[in-house]
Amino acid sequence: MNPSIARAKPLAALIALIGWFGVLLQLYLSLRLTGSMGMSTAQGLAIYLGYLTVLTNILVAVATSLLLLPPASAGGGFFARPTVLGWVTASIAFVGVAYFVLLRHAWNPQGLQLLADVLMHYVVPILVLIYSTIALRRTSLRWTAPFWWSLYPVGYFVYALLRGVFMGRYPYRFINASELGYPLVLRHAVVLWVAFIALSYLLMWLWRRLG
């Protein structure tokens, strides 16, 4: 294992702990809300798994948990790869930045929902960014890496649109094709894709400069 990753194991453990707490708290809150609306547990779970925030925080929780395993383990070795760790970092950083820019004024969470909101959109992204600056310093990744990483948000976009067709529900208003129409939604998607690529290159520059 990269010595920097080994030194950052305590931070990985902290991220895993906070990450799992955040996604499980949000699951509880989501099921409680959908249950109060007369929906089944399966329906509530389907809605919960429709959000990029939830899916990416689960990804982070899984990745940091596996990084605690011995280096020879399949999971630990996979997520210790610089390219994979860069992908996870870029993905959760994108969630944090997109929420701050686009969605933080769209609602006013209170109580436990506010706690879940802060953990998943701010605390976890910031901690992962700190972790990456330790684990990936002096690392030069291939210039094509951000395009491979962007398959994740592109795949999510396709998934969200298909969910919208079959469930009649879109997780975010700016990709609500039934309300905005596909041409505008596709333009939104292109802008967000460009933003993801730009953020990824910024992170790569930061990791390299730290060396």
Residues of the domain holding 67: 3-209
| Sequence-ordered strand ranges (E) for 52-111 | none
Nearest to 95 by CA among 128, 68, 67: 128
Kindly tell me the number of DSSP H helices and DSSP E strands found in the chain. Answer: 12, 0
Sign of the CA dihedral running 153, 157, 158, 164: positive
Q: Evaluate whether 80 touches 122 at the Cβ level (below 8 Å).
A: no
Alpha helices by DSSP H, 37-110? 41-48, 52-66, 74-80, 82-98
Question: What does the alpha-carbon distance between residue 95 and residue 23 come to, in Å, rounded to a whole number?
Answer: 14
Nearest to 116 by CA among 196, 208, 9, 22: 22
Residue 70, token pair as written in the block: 């011995």
The per-residue pLDDT for 2 is 65
The per-residue pLDDT for 140 is 86
The structural domain count of the chain equals: 1
Question: What does the alpha-carbon distance between residue 108 and residue 57 come to, in Å, rounded to a whole number?
Answer: 21
Q: Evaluate whether 75 touches 69 at the Cβ level (below 8 Å).
A: yes
Low-confidence ranges of the chain (pLDDT < 70): 1-5, 71-72, 211
Question: What does the alpha-carbon distance between residue 76 and residue 86 come to, in Å, rounded to a whole number?
Answer: 15
Q: Evaluate whether 92 touches 125 at the Cβ level (below 8 Å).
A: yes
